[in-house]
Structure 1
Amino acid sequence: MKPVRSLARAMLSGIFVVSGFHNFKNPGRLVPAAKPVTDRVTPLLERADPRIPTDTETLIRVNAAVQVGAGLMLATGRFARPAALVLAGTLVPVTIAGHPFWNTDDPAARNNNQIHFLKNLGLFGGLLLAAADTGGKPGLRWRTGHRIGHSRRSVRRAVRTARREARIAVRSAATARRLPG
């Protein structure tokens, strides 16, 4: 199953690495579409830290660099689950800014944007699956539950043993008192 996972991760991450690289090199072509989204995010960024650059071109470059880095991590299987979540996060503003089919009056452009929106939605679903994929190994939730169950059983055994030993000690003490001495 490992080769299938590796191939699927590489195929899923390919679009992010390639488009991230192109968008990093040439962010200017995306500025008009991204501007409405970055204008909404700018006040939040300024409140978080005034030193964060908020111009649209820089935000596009940052998003592109994150996509390239996380895409390479997903493709190589290094921190694949967190990388998939990061890519899913970068996909949200890209989809909203790049494919707002709800704002388009031209039927052909609306259809095109709707197709790309749904494609990105499918990529988002694939990234969520990649983020949940444990590679055939038990996930943290299962391991934690299993460990808790094991601990509970151990405690129950210890309590039963302590009760048994206490009963034996009480019987031994009673027997010792009855013996003539």
Structure 2
Amino acid sequence: MKPVRTLARVMLSGIFVVSGARNLQNPGRLVPAAKPVTDRAAPLIQNLHPRLPTDTETLIRANAATQLVGGLMLATGKFTRPAALVLAGTLVPTTVAGHPFWTADDPATRNNNQIHFLKNLGLFGGLLLAAADTEGRPGLRWRAGHRINHSRRSMQRAVRTARREAKIAVRTAATARRLPG
């Protein structure tokens, strides 16, 4: 199953590597579409830290760099689960800014944006699956529960053994008292 996972991750990451590199080199072409989204996000960013940049082109570059690095991490199998989550996070503003089919008046533009919106929704779903994939190994939740159950069973065995040994000790003591000494 590992080759399938590897191939799927490479295929899923391709769009992020290519578009991340392209948008990092030429963010200016995306500024008109991204400006309404970045203008709404700017106050939130300023609340996080006043020194963080809020200009549209810098935010596009940051998103592109994140997609490029996250895509490479996903493709190479390094920190795949966090990389998939980060990529899913970058996909939200990209989709809202790039494919607002609900605002288009032209039917052809609306249809095109709706198709791309749904494609990105599918990518988002694939990224969520990649983020949840433990590669056949037990997840932290299972391991913690298993460890707790193992500890509980060990304690129950210890209690049963102590009771058994106590009963044996009581019988031995009672037998020793009855013996003529």
Same fold (TM over 0.5): yes
The structural deviation recorded for 1:180 is: 2.9
1:11-31 alpha-carbon deviations (Å, 9 max, x no partner): 100000000001011111111
Alignment of 1:1-181 (within 5 A): 1-181=1-181
- What amino acid does structure 1 have at the position aligned with 2:171? R
SS at match of 2:155: helix
The structural deviation recorded for 1:171 is: 1.7
Greater shift, 107-116 or 149-158, is seen at 149-158
CA distance in 1, matches of 2:75, 2:7: 8
Greater shift, 44-53 or 170-179, is seen at 170-179
The structural deviation recorded for 1:162 is: 1.0
SS at match of 1:180: coil
The structural deviation recorded for 1:54 is: 0.8
CA distance in 1, matches of 2:124, 2:178: 78
CA distance in 1, matches of 2:132, 2:41: 28
CA distance in 2, matches of 1:174, 1:65: 80
The alignment-based identity, stated in percent, is: 81
Unaligned runs of at least 5 residues, structure 2: none
Unaligned runs of at least 5 residues, structure 1: none
- What amino acid does structure 2 have at the position aligned with 1:180? P
SS at match of 2:158: helix
CA distance in 1, matches of 2:145, 2:72: 32
The structural deviation recorded for 1:177 is: 2.5
SS at match of 2:180: coil
Greater shift, 143-152 or 127-136, is seen at 143-152
TM value normalised by structure 2? 0.96
- What amino acid does structure 2 have at the position aligned with 1:19? S
The structural deviation recorded for 1:72 is: 0.2
1:100-139 alpha-carbon deviations (Å, 9 max, x no partner): 1111111111100000000000000110111111112222
The structural deviation recorded for 1:33 is: 1.0
1:76-115 alpha-carbon deviations (Å, 9 max, x no partner): 0011111011100000110011111111111111100000
CA distance in 1, matches of 2:134, 2:153: 27
Residues paired across the two proteins, number: 181
TM value normalised by structure 1? 0.96
